[in-house]
Each structure stands twice: as structure tokens, then as C-alpha cells.
Amino acid sequence: MSHPNIVQFIGISTTLVVPVPGNTPPFCLISEWMPQGTLAEYLKARPETSRHELVRSLSSISQPFEFHLSS
């Protein structure tokens, strides 16, 4: 599936993380690079973001789910 609001999933790696003895082997999900970072990082760097902007962002985040359900 391809949508402008969904990051592309590239793969999984079990070699990028140091394993902890006695725990389940760790793994990393690998996705495309997002220059603005995560949504949490983006919002933390912009504390002046208005509620209107937040609602608009959340609305655009939900669009891929609607797209997926209708395809």
C-alpha cells in the first residue's frame, strides 16, 4: 500500500541492537527516513502549535486508515 501519510516499511533487523542475555532477541523495524522526526518530536519542538493545527494533523494521520479500509 502506498499513501503520502504512511512511511514505507523497508524491513526488520536483528543485528542493529545488542541482545540482552535471558531476554527475547530484540529487533528493529526499518522504515524510510523522515526528516521531521516522529510526530511526538515534531510537536515537542513546536510547543506553540495551536489546537486547530493539531486537529488538522490528526485528521491527516487518519486518512491512510480510511484509504486502507476502502481499498
Looking at residue 37, what is its pLDDT? 82
Looking at residue 67, what is its pLDDT? 64
Looking at residue 41, what is its pLDDT? 86
- Phi, psi (5° rounding) for residue 12? -130, 145
Looking at residue 42, what is its pLDDT? 81
Q: Which three cell numbers stand for residue 25?
A: 532477541
pTM of the predicted model over 0.85: no
Q: What is the mean pLDDT of each run of 10 residues along the chain (71 residues)?
A: 77 80 82 82 87 84 71 64
Looking at residue 4, what is its pLDDT? 74
- Which of 14, 48, 41 lies closest to 30, judged by CA? 14
